[in-house]
Chains A and B, each alone.
Chain A
Amino acid sequence: MTVLDETVAGLARALAARRVSAVELAGLFLRRIRDLDPRLNAFITVDEERCLAEARASDERRARGEPASVLDGIPLAHKDIFCTRGLRTTCGSRMLADFVSPYDAHVVERLARAGALTLGKTNMDEFAMGSSSESSWFGPVRNPWDTRRVPGGSSGGSAAALAARMAPAATGSDTGGSIRQPAAMCGVCGLKPTYGTVSRYGMVAFASSLDQGGPMARSAEDLGLLLNAMAGHDPRDSTSLERPLGDCTRALDLELSGLRIGLPQEYFGAGLQPEVGARVMEAVRWFERQGARIVELALAHTALAVPAYYVLAPAEASSNLARYDGVRYGHRASDYGDLADMYRRTRAEGFGAEVRRRILVGTYVLSHGYYDAYYLQAQKVRRLIARDFAEAFARCDFVLGPTVPGTAFAIGERTHDPVQLYLGDIFTIPASLAGLPALSIPCGFDAAGLPVGLQIVGPHFSEPRLLGAAHRYQQATDWHRRVPPETPL
């Protein structure tokens, strides 16, 4: 096994045993990025000098016998939604194409304090609005498993970077599935934590009642190591929880015997690609063989999750994105008349079609006379969906199902049909609406060799056990270790 293919846990052991230095690691991954990224477009910004300087500092700490944490010297990629001081943060938008943040996001700060190195900033759907990473101002990301296909989104750059071994770990953000869906489509692992677990400070806002940062990696154990460094109370985010999660790797040897696994009938119905259903059921059978018990259940309001989300998320986005006015930072149109004209042209030029569409939808559903029928009704449906889960978790420990109804689709295939793209998020949006932790891990491939993701959803604050279930599965399977044939080691 080469260093490029190692997990974070393996690299941490190699660094601790001085089998490799942080400078060597940084050099290897930066070179891999230089070799492969012209084809994949997973990165928007790479700063080699900065990364190598961080690596030298890491090696010096270790030489003094003072590593900052188990992650000291581990290279990682940040989704370009997290503000990085001195390194531009674009959020995949022309609006922020030249924006250099004057501060670090909380997540960036915490991982830097833990000694992790920043390889660069990963490509994404503009303002995280999308499920294919095609709406980026910096061009589409390509899926390493088939470069004619999308990597999923919005954290598609992070997922593609992991799959192609350009980074051993990455950050992502998830509003309706943006960590889990690209993880599934690229054959890697991603965890959306309980809402409020990871501070949103310095994470460009999309829909504040849903936005949640989280880790992406190639094993469940690595997700736990990363989440340990990312999670924690932050007074600068009013929704940041004070309740600590504790060590998220503490339950990796979870006892599966007697575990109750819920299978919602709504997650296995029409519209599910048969091979995806088959792979997921094979994983379910594996858990059954370990002594887990299957509980058939209903999440009756599942079909209303996408409609509710497409009221709530655009409504919140329309107010969050009102700040981009061409006055204090970001793009400003070059040609304009009065102030109102400057706003209108700046926003028409600075935002791409999907972002403009969502702002318009959000503006409409919040406008006078429609608020009750749309926004309030969507918030009530959100309650019904959360109640479905609460009732389910009275009968089971986890809910299992497919992360996405299908495998990765071709670039350009769904760009003219946004609603079809939205409906693909049917299995990830419900956990987002309910604020529940949910992860996606690889569980096999379809006939075309494209990865299939298994989603596991748990009750609030169940991250350690979720990761335990995933880790046990990964001890017995090697789907998460497969390397895309288009990007061999």
Chain B
Amino acid sequence: MSLGPEQVQRIADLARIAVSEEELAAVAAQLNRVLALVDRLQAADTRGVEPMAHPLDTEPGVVQRRRADEVTEPDRREEFQALAPQCEAGLYLVPRVLE
């Protein structure tokens, strides 16, 4: 299966990455080469095989832990907000969303 410029534009929109008209054909060509590589997976016989999400899921005692829903971190709001491109009165500034 091969992606055309329109599909690539749609994927780029989903990924929130601007791709210009001029770039579209080249980006599509490269994505198609990667997809041709990964399409080799379709030939594998995986009937009855459990998907593996964690590489140690067959090791006894290995689990993904959950922590208690408790506050453990100190409040460092000002320090964190100092990293923001635009911040005012304790709020992150972005372009207006609601008129």
User: Which A positions have Cβ atoms within 8 angstroms of B?
Assistant: 99-100, 102, 194-196, 209-210, 235, 238-239, 241-243, 301, 303-304, 306-308, 310-311, 318, 322, 325-332, 336-345, 347-348, 351, 356-357, 359-365, 367, 373-374, 376-384, 386, 390, 418-419, 422-423, 433-436, 460
B18 engages A347 (CB within 8 Å): yes
Contacts of B67 on A, CB cut-off 8 Å? 235, 238
**CB closest chain-A residue, reference B79:** A102
Say yes or no: B56 contacts A196, CB within 8 Å.
yes
Q: Does B90 contact A (CB under 8 A)?
A: no
Known A329-B84, A360-B17; judge A418-B56 contact (CB<8 A).
Answer: no
A363-B14, A364-B31, A381-B46 known; A308+B41 contact, CB < 8 A: yes
Q: Select B35's contact among A329, A361, A367, A384, beta carbons within 8 Å.
A: A361
Given A102-B76, A383-B52; A348-B18 close (CB under 8 Å): yes
Q: How far apart are A304's CB and chain B's nearest CB, in angstroms?
A: 6
State the CA gap A247–B52 with chains docked (Å): 30
B94 close to chain A: CB less than 8 A: yes
Which of A304, A328, A345, A436 is in CB contact (< 8 Å) with B84? A328
Q: Are B41 and A361 in contact (CB under 8 A)?
A: no
Q: Is A384 within 8 A of B59, CB to CB?
A: no
* Contact indicator B83/A99 (Cβ below 8 Å): yes
Task: Flag if B41 contacts A347 (CB, 8 Å).
Answer: no
B65 CB to closest chain A CB (Å) equals 6
Give CA–CA (A408, B3) in the complex, Å.
Answer: 33
Contact with A along B37-63 (1 / 0, CB 8 A): 111111010100111111110110110
A348-B19, A367-B11, A379-B53 are known contacts. Are A304 and B83 too (CB-CB below 8 A)? no
Question: Interface majority SS on B: helix, strand, loop or mixed?
Answer: loop
Smallest beta-carbon distance A317→chain B, Å: 11
CA distance A351 to B80 in the complex (A): 22
Q: Is B12 within 8 A of A360, CB to CB? A: yes
A377 and B41 contact, CB distance less than 8 A: yes
How far, in angstroms, from A435 to B85 measured CA to CA in the complex? 38
Q: Once the chains bind, are A381 and B41 in contact (CB under 8 Å)?
A: yes
In contact, B46 and A380 (Cβ under 8 angstroms):
yes
A381 to B18, CA, bound (A): 33
In the complex, A435→B15 CA distance in Å?
29
Name the A residues within 8 Å of B51 (CB-CB): 376, 379-380, 382-383
Contact, CB under 8 Å: A344 / B16: yes
Binding site for A on B (CB under 8 A): 3, 8, 11-19, 27, 30-31, 33-42, 44, 46, 49-56, 58-59, 61-62, 64-67, 76, 79-80, 83-86, 92, 94-97
Contact status B16-A307, CB under 8 Å: no
Most buried by A among B12, B15, B49, B58: B15
Q: Are A343 and B16 in contact (CB under 8 A)?
A: yes
Chain A's closest residue to B16 (CB) is A343
Interchain CA distance A303-B80 in the complex, whole Å: 45
Cβ–Cβ contact B15 & A363, under 8 A: yes
Is B31 within 8 A of A434, CB to CB? no
Other A-B pairs beyond A100-B83, A307-B39, 7, CB < 8 Å: A195-B55, A239-B64, A304-B44, A332-B85, A338-B97, A360-B11, A434-B55
Identify B41's interface contact among A210, A378, A422, CB under 8 A.
A378
Q: Which 5 A-B pairs have the closest CB atoms?
A: A435-B55, A379-B51, A380-B46, A332-B85, A348-B18
Chain B residues, CB < 8 A from A339: 94-95, 97
Chain A residues with Cβ below 8 Å from B85 are: 326-327, 329-332
Q: A374-B38, A386-B55, A460-B56 are in contact. Are A344 and B49 (CB under 8 A)?
A: no
Q: Judge whether B49 and A380 touch: CB under 8 Å.
A: yes
CA distance in complex: A269, B92 (Å): 56
Q: Considering residues B3, B52, B65, B97, which has the most beta carbons from chain A within 10 angstroms of its beta carbon?
A: B52
CB-defined A-B contacts under 8 Å, sample of 20:
A100-B83, A195-B55, A238-B67, A318-B15, A327-B92, A338-B95, A339-B95, A342-B94, A347-B17, A360-B11, A360-B17, A360-B27, A363-B11, A364-B11, A373-B42, A380-B49, A381-B46, A382-B51, A386-B58, A423-B37
Residues of B within 8 A of A364 (CB): 3, 11, 31, 35
Specify which of B27, B50, B79 is in contact with A357 (CB 8 Å cutoff).
B27
A342 engages B95 (CB within 8 Å) = yes
Q: Which residues of B contact A100 (CB under 8 A)?
A: 83
**Closest beta carbon of chain B to A424's beta carbon, Å:** 13
State whether B30 touches A418 (Cβ < 8 A). Answer: yes
Q: How far is the CA of A306 from the CA of B65 in the complex (A)?
A: 29
B92 touches A304 (CB 8 A): no
Inter-subunit contact A359/B17 (CB<8 Å): yes
Closest residue of B by beta carbon distance from A373: B42
A239 near B54 with CB under 8 A, answer yes
Which chain B residue has the least Cβ–Cβ distance from A100?
Answer: B83
Inter-chain contact A418/B33, CB cutoff 8 Å = yes
- CB-CB under 8 A from A361, the residues of chain B are 31, 34-35, 38
Chain B residues positioned under 8 Å from A210 (CB to CB): 55
Of B16, B42, B46, B80, the residue contacting A325 (CB under 8 A) is: B16
